Chains A and B, each alone.
Chain A
């Protein structure tokens, strides 16, 4: 495999990894609404949670396209009620003819750290907004699977809106909710210098600034049952949340080498939410051939640590987050 081809494979792997791992998973309760942890994009919540393991399988957008399997995990810890830090990474297996030697490759992707602060939430309107900063630590992963050597900093805005405040005539639409995120990935280094191991040729490329954006549309059966109408369905269905996620990225600056084509995936699937964990399964559908070929899949097990360990690692380090005042209802 030429150096150029190896780099393409690495870029493709990194692209999908960014999409998959940028979801600093959490769940957020805002009034009647519980925003579940999503798989492809981040939800707007700040929580103590563990997303592990997540398995994904897909074909990259490289030429030729190669099969990639990822096992990823992430741990999120609240420092205060509204501020959390998370750590995540993934182990990737790229099948032949991927990898620098066209024989496949495996290894860890870069370690990611994310800081997130909840700006505000409005329980009546089921609205929440947060801001965050994600840092991908360049050089902490294996280059053979596409891990970059430079840091990447991604400031991001997140929001979530439930439609529980719709008029009573639209009752069956009230379980709908949307979440969204928009961030800008800033490379720590403007240039990437690569040396072809075969010829010794030096290749200099620019690292683009990338708009990272997406969201989800979800329909909460738990919300339908507890806030709209109890249809008497079996408990299994009362815990389902059908969901479609959209995870995209668009290079917007220093695009000489990357081009400006938007890549990403559409992920239809469902979440099944228990009291202290959830299971998510989604298809991974590339939006164009630069994003991948064929349909992949991802499955994830996710634990709500604040529910499992409410008196230890499941609570904020500073402040207990509990308002012990008497309950009162606003008009």
Chain B
């Protein structure tokens, strides 16, 4: 019984460590939202991640239907809220755009992803 209690306590500690752990940075949500249709055209794309990012090794691109980049400037990780990355956009015509992101979390995990949004007429 004592061994069982010790094992349970060790497992509980481990679960506690796991709950508090940092991890791969996953996309939590975005603006414009993943898969959404928006109007008028957004002036920027903002991404919120599940972990803090390393700014020097994190980036985002936005491309139109022809594959041309439509950012108006460099992507930037918010220094006060390092889970957030944004990139300004040129004026977007109606159509579907693809957001491609690749980030490094502060605990050195790499992750990447992409999604689309549509600008309506």
A307 and B109 in contact, given A275-B24, A275-B50, A331-B67 (Cβ under 8 angstroms): yes
Task: From A12-20, A56-64, A209-217, A316-324, give the one contacting chain B.
Answer: A316-324
The answer, yes or no, to whether A32 is at the interface (CB within 8 Å) is yes
Q: Which of B96-121 contact A (CB under 8 A)?
A: 96, 100, 102-104, 107-116
Q: What are the residues of chain B within 8 A of A171 when measuring CB–CB?
A: 35
Q: Given known contacts A275-B23, A308-B17, is B34 in contact with A226 (CB within 8 Å)?
A: yes
A259 near B: Cβ within 8 Å? no
Q: CB distance A230 to B18 under 8 Å? A: no
Question: Across the interface, which residues of A come within 8 angstroms of B21, CB to CB?
Answer: 275-276, 307-309
- The CA of A222 and the CA of B115, in the complex, are separated in Å by 13
In the bound complex, how far is the Cα of B58 from the Cα of A329, in angstroms? 11
Instruction: Tell me the minimal C-beta distance from A81 to chain B in angstroms.
Output: 11
Q: Bound complex: CA of A229 vs CA of B29, how far in Å?
A: 10
Residue of B nearest to A273 (CB): B26
> Is A170 an interface residue when CB atoms closer than 8 A count as contact?
no
What's the least CB distance linking A95 to chain B, in Å?
A: 21
Within 8 A of A (CB), among B9-33: 11, 14-15, 17-19, 21-24, 26-27, 29-30, 33
* Chain A residues near B24 (CB-CB < 8 A): 29, 34, 275, 307
Within 8 A of B (CB), among A280-315: 301, 303-304, 306-311
Assess A226 versus B27: contact at CB under 8 Å? Given A275-B50, A276-B19, A327-B102: yes
Q: Please provide the chain B residues from 23 to 77 with a CB less than 8 Å away from any CB of chain A in the complex.
A: 23-24, 26-27, 29-30, 33-36, 50-51, 56-59, 61, 67
CB-defined contacts of A103 to chain B, threshold 8 Å: none
* Minimum distance in angstroms from A314 CB to a CB of chain B: 9
A308 cross-chain contacts in B, Cβ below 8 A: 17-18, 21, 23
Cβ of A150 under 8 Å from chain B: no
Q: Which residues from chain B contact A328 at a C-beta distance below 8 Å?
A: 102
A277 lies within 8 A of chain B by Cβ: yes
Chain A residues within an 8 Å CB radius of B30: 230
Contact status A230-B33, CB under 8 Å = yes
Question: What number of A-B contacts does a CB cutoff of 8 Å give?
Answer: 100
Cβ of A139 within 8 Å of any chain B Cβ, yes or no, is no
Decide if A225 is an interface residue (CB 8 Å cutoff).
yes
Q: Is the CB of A307 within 8 A of B22?
A: yes
A274 to B14, CA, bound (A): 14
Q: Are A303 and B18 touching (Cβ within 8 A)? A: yes
Cα A320 to Cα B104 with chains together (Å): 14
Q: Are B18 and A329 in contact (CB under 8 A)?
A: no
- In the complex, the answer to whether B113 meets A226 with C-beta atoms within 8 Å is yes
CB distance A306 to B109 under 8 Å? Answer: yes
**In contact, A227 and B17 (Cβ under 8 angstroms):** no
Q: Note all chain A residues with C-beta closer than 8 A to B56.
A: 326
Complex contacts, A276 vs chain B, CB 8 Å: 18-19, 21, 23
Residue from the list A32, A222, A320 in contact with B108, Cβ < 8 A: A320
Interface residues of A in 211-247 (CB under 8 A from B): 222, 225-230
In the complex where A275-B23, A276-B19, A308-B18 touch, is A29 in contact with B111 (Cβ < 8 A)?
yes
Q: From A323, which residue of chain B is reached at the shortest CB distance?
A: B110
Contact check, B18 vs A277: say whether CB atoms are below 8 A apart: yes
The answer to whether the Cβ of A168 comes within 8 Å of any Cβ in the partner chain is: yes
**B22 and A310 contact, CB distance less than 8 A:** yes
Asked if B102 and A168 make an inter-chain contact with CB atoms under 8 angstroms apart, the answer reads no
* Complex Cα spacing A304 to B21, Å: 10
Some 8 contacts from A to B, beta carbons below 8 A apart, are A52-B11, A226-B115, A227-B113, A276-B18, A303-B14, A307-B107, A308-B17, A329-B102
- Known A171-B35, A228-B115, A307-B22; further 12 A-B contacts with Cβ < 8 A: A228-B35, A229-B35, A230-B29, A274-B19, A275-B22, A307-B21, A307-B109, A310-B22, A310-B109, A326-B57, A327-B57, A327-B112
The 10 closest A-B pairs by CB, nearest first: A229-B35, A307-B23, A275-B23, A327-B59, A327-B102, A308-B21, A230-B34, A276-B21, A310-B107, A226-B27
